């Protein structure tokens, strides 16, 4: 003899009239359960690193891609930017 166990049905398979408060409560419970399975949001991008930017700028200057004037202008812009400090 084989017994198959089915999970207990939590909701009635046919429509029963329900009061609006009970429907709202069930909807809130379902929404809370759904929000608990959502993935975490992507982290906010961090502030730019001025030291890394200066290193990249110095590499470009050393390779000859930037002139002395362009290097000084870009360096002053990085050092004067308040979001990097």
Boundaries of every domain in the chain:
50-80
Under a CB-based contact definition with an 8 Å cutoff, are residues 47 and 84 in contact? yes
Under a CB-based contact definition with an 8 Å cutoff, are residues 18 and 42 in contact? no
pLDDT of the residue at 4: 66
pLDDT of the residue at 73: 94
Q: How confident is the model at residue 34 (pLDDT cuts 50, 70, 90)?
A: confident
Q: Per-residue pLDDT tens for 60-77?
A: 999 999 999 999 999 999
Q: What's the whole-model pTM score?
A: 0.44
More reliable by pLDDT, 48 or 28: 28
Rounded-to-integer distance, Cα 53 and Cα 44, Å: 19
């Amino acid at each position: 003899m084989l017994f198959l166990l089915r999970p207990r049905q939590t909701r009635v398979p046919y429509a029963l009239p329900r009061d609006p408060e009970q429907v709202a409560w069930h909807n809130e419970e379902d929404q809370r359960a759904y929000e608990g399975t959502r993935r975490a949001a992507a982290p906010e991008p961090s502030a730019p690193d001025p030291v890394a930017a200066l290193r990249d700028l110095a590499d470009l200057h050393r390779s000859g891609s930037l002139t002395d004037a362009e290097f000084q202008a870009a360096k002053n812009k990085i050092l004067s930017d308040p979001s990097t400090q």
